[in-house]
Structure 1
Amino acid sequence: MLSRAEADYDADDEADDDDESGEEDEDATPARPRIGVSEEDKARAMIDTSAFGNPHGSIVEGANGGNGTIVRSAYLGKEMQTSFLEYSMSVIVARALPDVRDGLKPVHRRILYAMNESGYTPNRPHMKSARTVGDVIGKYHPHGDSAVYNTMVRLAQPFSMRVPLVDGHGNFGSIDGDGAAAMRYTESRLDKVAMELLRDLDKETVDFQPNYDESLEEPTVLPARFPNLLVNGSQGIAVGMATNIPPHNLGETIDATCMMLDNPDVTTEELMTALPGPDFPTGGIIMGKKGILDAYETGRGSLTVRARCEIEEKKNGRCSIIVKEIPYMVNRNRLLEKLGELVRDKKLPEISNIHDGADRHGIDIIIDLKQNAIPQVVLNKLYKHTQLQVGFGAIMLSLVDGVPRVLSLKEMLHYYIAHQEDVIVRRTRYELAKAEERAHILEGLIVALDNIDEVIHIIRSSQTDGEASDRLTERFGLSKKQTDAILEMKLRRLTGLERGKIQDELNALREKIEYYHRVLNDPALVREIIKEELQEVKKKFDTPRRTKLSADAKDIDVEDLIADENMVVTVTKAGYVKRLPVATYRQQKRGGKGMQGVNLKDNDYVEHLFVASTHAYMLFFSTAGKVYRLKVYELPEASRHARGTAIVNLLPLAKGETISAVIATKEFPADEFLMFATAHGMVKKTSMDLYDRTRRDGLIAINLKDGDELISVRRVAPGEKVIMVSSAGKAIMWNEDEVRAMGRDTMGVRGMNVPPIARVLGMEIAKPDTELFVITEKGYGKRTPVSEYPEHHRGGQGVFTITMTEKKGLLAAMKIVAVDEEIMIMSEEGVVVRTPVLGISELGRSTQGVCVMKVADNDRVTAVAISSRSKKKRAGDKPTTDEDQIELLEEESEEGDLTESDIDEE
């Protein structure tokens, strides 16, 4: 436990210590002159052994070393807690948070009150701001002059305050972030609307308190004849809490207040018909109403505020984005700098130029776009990367009876109305007292006028004022105030006309007195008065709404920043992926040799090719039974000749894990299914909607046994036939309804029974009028119409699809083909043969096949891929590509660089 020297001890103790330290002791070391507590005393006091015997941290005082220093022992933690609590309460109550009744912090209230007391009102000339700041800090707010001046500057800025309370004359800063001129150059006075906050201040409507030195008094709160807390909002950071109340439209706020005056049980939704949302002085657009409703109901809500932008098309066909309004509290100059950075860094390549079009009519920012830029896409990017869209976290925190509370809209209006009721009642009592006092005097004057001769006789016969007053009181039963008024009455009041005026004034006062009594006895009448006075304020100071409210609450998604266009996606056997626009190919002339589509490594070829929208999903299924999901726009865009990016750089594939199937889709309907097949013959059918989610490390697409791997994934429609081929030379075909739909994290059922030494080579959807092409490891293959294969139940070994011999080797690959296609055959050594399907003999099921590819003794066939498909569709085929995709495939097939094995409808 530590003890510390008490530096702020009593003044009497300090005087005594100074007297004692001024005398020198002959036997002692000469005392050093010291002010307060010396550093040595402090160091000694930091280690006070007596403090260790005080487990509760109580104060222990005594002499330390005989030098007269008072030491007080206390727990450091408890002392810090007490000190910090006192500091935090001071910040919360007397500095950072507004009062719920007038919506002002102490410094704002003192500025307005000081200007009012000094006469810097709207009907007077502007006065130097330095004079106002001097009055404020000299009389009520003993803090830094720059802090007070900056606060007053903000009260005068129309882009900071929805209803400015100070009328500034001179440079009071700008929305670009320029600071105000020094206080010696600017002039200011109260704005007209500020007088409504101060109205009736002289009628004892609010309590007053002493100022910091108790030489003057200042109001604890202003009468605030309109709901300033909501109208101008408030921002403040206290200790452990903060407030951020958005500004609102004056007329709408008054309408909501009147609605609650009529019906205290009104709902938040009903209040929002009058007060639909915040109204920022800089305009803009609030996206969605949920954040507003949350803030109004709970006191906390998150608003999304966008700049108001217009898209203008020029004569040359190019477009420009014109920023008309920016979000509240956004520095326009920094916004321009950020736009310039994004253009320089080529993050917004669609922008050709940026102009600052600000003038006295507006704050326009003109953004010129390049020829082929899509304005809405560029605008979405601007919303994403700049402060053209910002979040506003509403925290409706204010002081209620000196206690900070987060309030709903209804609670804020309730406390404001309660304050106004108190103001009206106190004002009425004050005016009633004044009226009764005046009526009392007038009644005495009338008595005197009715008996003027006798009154004059009493006055003339009296020796002193006191004697005259006593005799009048005794004769007519008058009070001291009445007799004083009679004695001070001028002779001209004795005329008959003056008596009539006095009688009329008395009658009017009696009517007012009766009205004041009705007000004090009827709370409903008080609420009517509040409504009438609020409507007066609205009539004088209401302005149209500036901020628009949009029902669209959609957040800016990355997808909104990408133009929706068709892209060609290629995935090679070696695992390289890329995308590029379809227009890259369609702009080329057709015929002859075509054009080169991609430069690949030796022996590599395109295994998967799709034409898909940038907003479509690519599902990558790996041999480990996992599925990874990427949007097409997330794939790297490359040139026509580029190889692409290795897929291991895009997906977190484990060592030895490769991509076995790719599916492109834009939606995940529950009534469409994916059919899976593994090397051990397991199959599974799962609804696509179960894959409409994503994880960074992939989702389990199918559970696999040890040693098994996923080899194929196909979309399957009701009634379609599934054909599986094993390396043992057998094929089995069964209807897709043989497999019931099951969950994602399942193993599936037996689709084909294969011997332990064999494996399933592939699974395809056998459509009508197609053929099954198979090829052995030594290059012998054939094609057989799928109609020759009998339909079985799943789980069997199937029928022979080729006669196996030792010379021809095991079956190596299979593919469903059409007569108008070309296929590519690749060997283990990288030899690639491209041949038309029509060049391969069509043979029966149990035949040996013909030599399709000559394979060296130490080599073997490993893969088959479809190279191209003609534009003419096969009869009865389900459409799988659009015309663009078919033409693209034709172009690629002429060069021979692109191949295709799986084309799935989006």
Structure 2
Amino acid sequence: MSSDTSDLPDEVAEKVKSVRVEDEMEQSYIDYAMSVIAGRALPDVRDGLKPVHKRILYAMHRSGVTSNASHRKSSNIVGDTMGDFHPHGDQSIYDALARMAQTFSMRYPLIDGQGNFGSVDGDPPAAMRYTEARMDSLSEEMLADIEMDTVDFKPNYDGRLEEPEVLPSAVPNLLINGSSGIAVGMSTNIPPHNLGEVIDATVELIDNPDATVEDLMEHVKGPDFPTGANIVGRNAIHQAYKTGRGRLRVRAEYEVQDDRIVITELPFQTNKARLIQRIADHVNDGTIEGIRDLRDESDRDGIRVVVELKQNAIPEVVENQLLNHRLERTFSIISLALVDGQPKVLTLKELLQHYLDHRRDVVRRRSEFELDEAEERAHILEGRLRALDNIDDVVELIRNADDRDGARSGLQGTFDFSEKQAEHIVRMQLGSLTSLESEEIEAEYEDVTARIERLETILGDESELLGVIKEELLEMKEKYADERRTKIVEDTSEVTREDLIAEEDVFVVVTEQDYVKRMPIEQFDAQGRGGKGIIGADVKEDDTVSKVFRANTHDYLLCFTNHGQVYRLKTYEIPEMSRTARGKSAVNILDLDKGEDITAVITTDEFEEDESLSMVTQQGYVKRTAAKEFENILSTGIIAARLEDGDKLVDVKVTDGTKDLLVSTKNGMTIRFDETEAREMGRSARGVHGIRLDDDDEVVGMVAANGDVDDLLTVTRRGYGKRTKLTEYRSQSRNGKGLIDIKTGDRNGHVTEIKTVIEDDHLVLMSERGQIMRIRAEDISEVGRNTMGVTVMDVDEDDRVASVDVIPAEAAEAVPDDAETAEESEPVADE
């Protein structure tokens, strides 16, 4: 686009730019939109406040209008805020101030108002010249420590003053008070929550950074509205917390009596007067039938709306009509907040994590500020103590000095005092030279040095810093927490937590130190044998993986331990984590004793009548116990088998009286016998001898074979493996030495596990250091007994195969022949 500037002076013409009008309009609209988004309509994720609320509270803080001060005219507060920080009109500021004082709008009001600040009937607040306000004690916690360089400041609109970019916020205000606002092209609607529940969830996140939304929902049950009422169902709550968006059904609290329905609590943000008028309109137009009279008996103590029924009315019918038309409303959750100045929809965990990160920064900066002050005070006290030790010489030097400057210079030169110490000593009064004063200085110096040591510990140790945050949060809970007001009620379409968990196959990983986690099976594609696999767990340096197995998220897991105990839990109760996560300590899920480790796991929904659990111990004892004896397992576990000293339970299989048991040892011996040779016995029995072991040998695993249709897979600790037809293992009596299954030695290592497989099965191998690999069973050569096998997994020199599990053919996903996985290495040639 061209423009004619020939008629303009040169200095003006130089400033004229030629732009397309649509480009200018687009950029101007974007600038306007971002100004509204960041500067007006959306809250900051850290303190949960929009700029106007932040500026009102800071203006009151500067003016000393605290919870202990007398109330001040609202017009005065509005004037201070508008003149110093928020030049956007007095009415918008007053509206924001009034809302912070409304007990029906704020779950935890930040302003203590005096006068008419509006009502649940939609009445507006009185004019600001008639009302008075001061900070509530909770808002003081929002500003606590702001003078300690805990947050960044920026110039106000005219550069005269500075205002905080964010408040320190000792409480997670965004969640406990919620926020709503309409920006350009987006809106936010975050409901209020119970302070105690939110703090408990934040503490859970401190203690367990890998906590899931489901874990946090054990603490945060759902929104907690200031007006009470009921949330119908948990599904929408879970959806909102997991995605940042959801639609809640909020129902009034009421009581159906013989001839009336009494409403005592209304859904959040419901205008009571308008609700009553609309019910009356529905009665007049015949939409709702059976109502004789409608009265508002509400007072300062609470809501009471009485619906009088006609003599022949059926209360349940009227109740349903009211629910369908007026007593239920939808609350749409959009958890949109500013993160680093950018709008973002956040999950429950993200909301808590951003607040926690903010508090971590606040406490760190506060500790640095306090440390500087403490070190400066310690420096002065050191000078005073040294001066007291040389008091006669110090007094004489000062007395003989010409002036203060001379005394300061003399002290610095003679006693090596710093400038600050010398200045302080020159200004000391004679009364401070008493012995009592000296003792007080020494006591203060000890306190200050202890404080310095504590602050350095906090700044040098992340766990100590988090401990301070946790302690302060629990103090806030003790001081301000109250009971829930909003109840969560079931409905006919209600779902349980189990229904919210997708039914899918997962891998469960257990380490020697009993860290557990689950991972979706889809994360692991099949690859060729001989590869290294990919990272499946980030184990600690002194820990190793002990077991990996496949399960469905809705399966029950029977977890057998080396102590002969058995525990039960649902797979979904094990936290889902990424491949690189370490897992969660099993003691947080199961009531394990010290030194008790999980050694075998059975996945099941329920047992058949004729099924048994066949068990084998490290020393070769075998026993069978009826499965029905494991149907009622206490949370503290029950005895599965009595063990000899030094023995431990190694493996457990579900059998039905028709199976052959194959027991394998680490030195490569395997015995096969009919399971009925080990008669059924009680849970507390030891069992009978299954295999006779050499002195240096021990049992590593057992399989239950159904005839000879399967192959026996044997995998060694150094990553070798083979498949052998079951026909090569003749059946014999128990307590024999068995047959040689695989040659073991330095090259391939001891046997780690045996499994029964068919060619179409997939295998999952995991090493002690956390490498995991999924391969096809058909890729492992089928050979005879008494061979060494081929390389299945390439383990590092300091690593070993820890566990093997089978994905049955019907459950294995179809994987292209050329499928490769990240971090996969080239196959190792067979030796």
TM-score normalized with structure 1 length: 0.53
Amino acid aligned to 2:141: E
Partner of 1:407: 346
Task: Please list every run of at least 4 consecutive aligned residues from structure 1 whose deviation after the TM superposition is greater than 4 angstroms.
Answer: 64-71
- The answer on whether the counterparts of 1:63 and 1:71 sit within 8 Å (CA) in structure 2 is no
Written as runs of structure 1 = structure 2, the 5 A alignment for 1:537-576 is 537-552=476-491, 554=493
**1:340-379 Cα deviation digits (max 9, x unpaired):** 1111112112111101111222211100111232222212
Q: 2:25 aligns with which of 80, 92, 95?
A: 80
Amino acid aligned to 1:382: L
Q: 1:98 aligns with which of 43, 48, 72?
A: 43
Partner of 2:243: 298
- The answer on whether the counterparts of 1:62 and 1:71 sit within 8 Å (CA) in structure 2 is no
Aligned length: 493
Amino acid aligned to 2:179: S
Distance apart, 1:117 and its partner CA? 0.7
- The answer on whether the counterparts of 1:64 and 1:71 sit within 8 Å (CA) in structure 2 is no
Matched, 1:378 2:318: yes
Separation in structure 2 between the aligned mates of residue 553 and residue 396 of structure 1, nearest angstrom:
27
Matched, 1:198 2:137: no
Q: 1:506 aligns with which of 445, 448, 451?
A: 445
Written as runs of structure 1 = structure 2, the 5 A alignment for 1:467-478 is 467-478=406-417
Instruction: Provide the alpha-carbon RMSD of the alignment.
Output: 1.6
Separation in structure 2 between the aligned mates of residue 517 and residue 65 of structure 1, nearest angstrom:
66
Report the secondary structure of 2:268's partner residue.
Answer: coil
**1:108-133 Cα deviation digits (max 9, x unpaired):** 00000100110100111101100000
Q: 1:338 aligns with which of 262, 278, 282?
A: 278
Partner of 1:246: 191
Distance apart, 1:173 and its partner CA? 0.6
**1:308-347 Cα deviation digits (max 9, x unpaired):** 111112xxxxx21111111001111110110111111121
Separation in structure 2 between the aligned mates of residue 61 and residue 338 of structure 1, nearest angstrom:
64
Amino acid aligned to 1:487: V
Question: Are the structure 2 counterparts of residues 336 and 96 from structure 1 closer, same or farther at C-alpha, using a change threshold of 3 Å?
Answer: same
Question: Are the structure 2 counterparts of residues 62 and 193 from structure 1 closer, same or farther at C-alpha, using a change threshold of 3 Å?
Answer: farther
Matched, 1:138 2:86: no
Distance apart, 1:63 and its partner CA? 3.7
Partner of 1:114: 59
| Unmatched runs of 5 consecutive residues or more in structure 2 | 495-831
Separation in structure 2 between the aligned mates of residue 149 and residue 532 of structure 1, nearest angstrom:
36
Separation in structure 2 between the aligned mates of residue 138 and residue 430 of structure 1, nearest angstrom:
31
Question: Are the structure 2 counterparts of residues 546 and 553 from structure 1 closer, same or farther at C-alpha, using a change threshold of 3 Å?
Answer: farther
Question: Are the structure 2 counterparts of residues 453 and 237 from structure 1 closer, same or farther at C-alpha, using a change threshold of 3 Å?
Answer: same
Amino acid aligned to 1:240: G
| Unmatched runs of 5 consecutive residues or more in structure 1 | 2-49, 52-59, 314-318, 556-906
- The answer on whether the counterparts of 2:33 and 2:183 sit within 8 Å (CA) in structure 1 is yes
Distance apart, 1:64 and its partner CA? 5.4
Distance apart, 1:540 and its partner CA? 1.1
Partner of 1:398: 337
- The answer on whether the counterparts of 1:172 and 1:179 sit within 8 Å (CA) in structure 2 is yes
Report the secondary structure of 1:366's partner residue.
Answer: strand
Separation in structure 2 between the aligned mates of residue 204 and residue 462 of structure 1, nearest angstrom:
40
- The answer on whether the counterparts of 1:61 and 1:72 sit within 8 Å (CA) in structure 2 is no
Question: Are the structure 2 counterparts of residues 229 and 308 from structure 1 closer, same or farther at C-alpha, using a change threshold of 3 Å?
Answer: same
Written as runs of structure 1 = structure 2, the 5 A alignment for 1:169-248 is 169-248=114-193
- The answer on whether the counterparts of 1:103 and 1:228 sit within 8 Å (CA) in structure 2 is yes
**1:737-793 Cα deviation digits (max 9, x unpaired):** xxxxxxxxxxxxxxxxxxxxxxxxxxxxxxxxxxxxxxxxxxxxxxxxxxxxxxxxx
Q: 1:497 aligns with which of 431, 436, 448?
A: 436
Separation in structure 1 between the aligned mates of residue 115 and residue 210 of structure 2, nearest angstrom:
47
Question: Are the structure 2 counterparts of residues 440 and 292 from structure 1 closer, same or farther at C-alpha, using a change threshold of 3 Å?
Answer: same
Amino acid aligned to 2:283: V
Separation in structure 2 between the aligned mates of residue 328 and residue 415 of structure 1, nearest angstrom:
26
Separation in structure 2 between the aligned mates of residue 531 and residue 376 of structure 1, nearest angstrom:
49
Amino acid aligned to 1:167: D
Partner of 1:256: 201
- The answer on whether the counterparts of 1:61 and 1:73 sit within 8 Å (CA) in structure 2 is no
Distance apart, 1:61 and its partner CA? 5.7
- The answer on whether the counterparts of 1:258 and 1:531 sit within 8 Å (CA) in structure 2 is yes
Amino acid aligned to 1:243: T
Question: Are the structure 2 counterparts of residues 234 and 282 from structure 1 closer, same or farther at C-alpha, using a change threshold of 3 Å?
Answer: same
- The answer on whether the counterparts of 2:384 and 2:421 sit within 8 Å (CA) in structure 1 is yes
Partner of 1:289: 234
- The answer on whether the counterparts of 1:234 and 1:244 sit within 8 Å (CA) in structure 2 is yes
Report the secondary structure of 1:404's partner residue.
Answer: strand
Is the deviation greater in 467-476 or in 425-434?
Answer: 467-476
Question: Are the structure 2 counterparts of residues 65 and 138 from structure 1 closer, same or farther at C-alpha, using a change threshold of 3 Å?
Answer: closer
Separation in structure 1 between the aligned mates of residue 468 and residue 12 of structure 2, nearest angstrom:
67
Distance apart, 1:531 and its partner CA? 1.1
**1:694-750 Cα deviation digits (max 9, x unpaired):** xxxxxxxxxxxxxxxxxxxxxxxxxxxxxxxxxxxxxxxxxxxxxxxxxxxxxxxxx
Amino acid aligned to 1:408: T
Separation in structure 2 between the aligned mates of residue 92 and residue 158 of structure 1, nearest angstrom:
27
Partner of 2:291: 351
Q: 1:456 aligns with which of 395, 398, 401?
A: 395
**1:671-706 Cα deviation digits (max 9, x unpaired):** xxxxxxxxxxxxxxxxxxxxxxxxxxxxxxxxxxxx
Distance apart, 1:554 and its partner CA? 4.3
Separation in structure 2 between the aligned mates of residue 493 and residue 230 of structure 1, nearest angstrom:
52
Separation in structure 1 between the aligned mates of residue 11 and residue 150 of structure 2, nearest angstrom:
56
Separation in structure 1 between the aligned mates of residue 378 and residue 456 of structure 2, nearest angstrom:
15
Partner of 1:425: 364
Amino acid aligned to 1:513: I
Question: Are the structure 2 counterparts of residues 61 and 486 from structure 1 closer, same or farther at C-alpha, using a change threshold of 3 Å?
Answer: farther
Report the secondary structure of 2:402's partner residue.
Answer: coil
TM-score normalized with structure 2 length: 0.58
Distance apart, 1:62 and its partner CA? 5.4
Report the secondary structure of 1:478's partner residue.
Answer: coil
- The answer on whether the counterparts of 1:159 and 1:175 sit within 8 Å (CA) in structure 2 is yes
Distance apart, 1:174 and its partner CA? 0.6
Question: Are the structure 2 counterparts of residues 62 and 287 from structure 1 closer, same or farther at C-alpha, using a change threshold of 3 Å?
Answer: farther
Matched, 1:445 2:384: yes
Report the secondary structure of 1:536's partner residue.
Answer: helix
Distance apart, 1:515 and its partner CA? 0.4
Separation in structure 1 between the aligned mates of residue 246 and residue 288 of structure 2, nearest angstrom:
32
Separation in structure 2 between the aligned mates of residue 361 and residue 169 of structure 1, nearest angstrom:
17
Partner of 1:523: 462
Distance apart, 1:545 and its partner CA? 0.4
Amino acid aligned to 1:332: K
- The answer on whether the counterparts of 1:233 and 1:246 sit within 8 Å (CA) in structure 2 is yes
